[in-house]
């Protein structure tokens, strides 16, 4: 039995268990929640339940093979690479230039994610993700180093005082006057169980602000500011305009992707280029830039 204190106030039940049971796979944690083996105040709760001060959380006896757990951890080499990829930190926050191809969370078929690696790098700290990036997207990924800064940073995202800017390589000639995309997005599940997003009037509002950086007949390079932060928002908004992102194997154009591979472009060409943070108790007003990957640089000789 664990009694919730002010340090866990409003934390999701699943996130609390991920941290408390860091040697247990996430799939197993969701299973014990679903089966009612985890109880809050003697009652079943859903994973998204927000914990309150004084809540009593019952956690059942669990065991996980320590040797197996160690085999699922990031290598020392990867930890060193991620340590070198930290582009800003103070006592409250940390910003990583996340490599493409590395998932943020562990999950189905993924032994570990960036958050697991960062918790190893900063052992003893209360490291939490502030937002997410797709596995194949590189760039600025923001972490809080304690609960108070996490809540403040999440509030900045909600009130839009924090700005997130992306760079993308897209198919064809992007119209100079296409600066705003407001298309609602809905999550769907395909027959094979894969989750995707699509434009649908019944979906949640989604707003992207776009600036053309470099035009061309074959491909264009754009800057995108996320006004809302829906799953796969930039990828689906670009697809809806007929200007799919290069290297996108989910929403992209297969022929365009093949032509870009001839230029040795073999990744999703979406990069979280910068974070603009307002002044707060935890940061000064600042812009944090993540250097462009080499595959972007060779397509952007004039930028």
Query: Active-site residues: which are they?
Result: 134
Query: Across-strand partners of 96?
Result: 86, 141
DSSP state of 75: P
- How many other C-beta atoms lie within 10 A of the C-beta of residue 152? 17
Q: Please state, in angstroms and rounded to a whole number, the distance separating the CA atoms of residues 20 and 25.
A: 12
DSSP state of 7: G
Q: Please work out, in degrees rounded to the nearest 5, the angle formed at the alpha carbon of residue 42 by the alpha carbons of 37 and 45.
A: 60
Q: SS3 for 168?
A: strand
Q: Answer whether 157's CB lies under 8 Å from 144's CB.
A: no
Q: Which of 114, 100, 207 is nearest to 160 (CA)?
A: 207
């Amino acid at each position: 039995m664990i009694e919730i204190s002010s340090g866990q106030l409003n934390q999701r039940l699943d996130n609390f268990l991920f941290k408390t049971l860091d040697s247990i796979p996430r799939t197993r944690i969701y299973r014990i929640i679903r089966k009612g083996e985890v109880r809050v105040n003697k009652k079943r709760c859903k994973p998204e339940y927000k914990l309150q001060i004084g809540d009593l959380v019952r956690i059942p006896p669990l065991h996980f093979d320590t040797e197996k757990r160690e085999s699922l951890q990031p290598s020392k080499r990867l930890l060193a690479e991620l340590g070198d990829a930290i582009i800003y930190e103070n006592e409250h926050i940390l910003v990583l230039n996340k490599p493409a191809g590395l998932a943020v969370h562990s999950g189905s078929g993924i032994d570990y994610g960036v958050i697991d690696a960062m918790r190893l790098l900063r052992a003893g700290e209360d490291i939490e993700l502030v937002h997410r990036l797709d596995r194949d997207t590189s760039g600025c990924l923001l972490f809080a180093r304690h609960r108070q800064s996490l809540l403040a940073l999440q509030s900045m995202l909600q009130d839009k005082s924090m700005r997130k800017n992306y760079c993308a390589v897209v198919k064809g000639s992007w119209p100079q006057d296409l600066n705003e995309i407001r298309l609602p997005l809905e999550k769907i599940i395909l027959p094979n169980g894969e989750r995707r997003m699509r434009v649908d009037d019944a979906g949640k509002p989604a707003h992207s602000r776009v600036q053309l950086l470099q035009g061309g007949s074959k491909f264009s390079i754009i800057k995108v500011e996320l006004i809302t932060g829906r799953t796969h928002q930039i990828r689906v908004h670009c697809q809806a305009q007929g200007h799919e992102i290069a290297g996108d194997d989910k929403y992209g154009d297969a022929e365009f992707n093949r032509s870009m591979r001839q230029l040795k472009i073999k990744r999703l060409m979406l990069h979280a280029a910068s974070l603009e943070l307002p002044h707060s108790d935890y940061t000064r007003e600042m812009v944090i830039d993540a250097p462009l990957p080499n595959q972007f640089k060779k397509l952007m000789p004039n930028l």
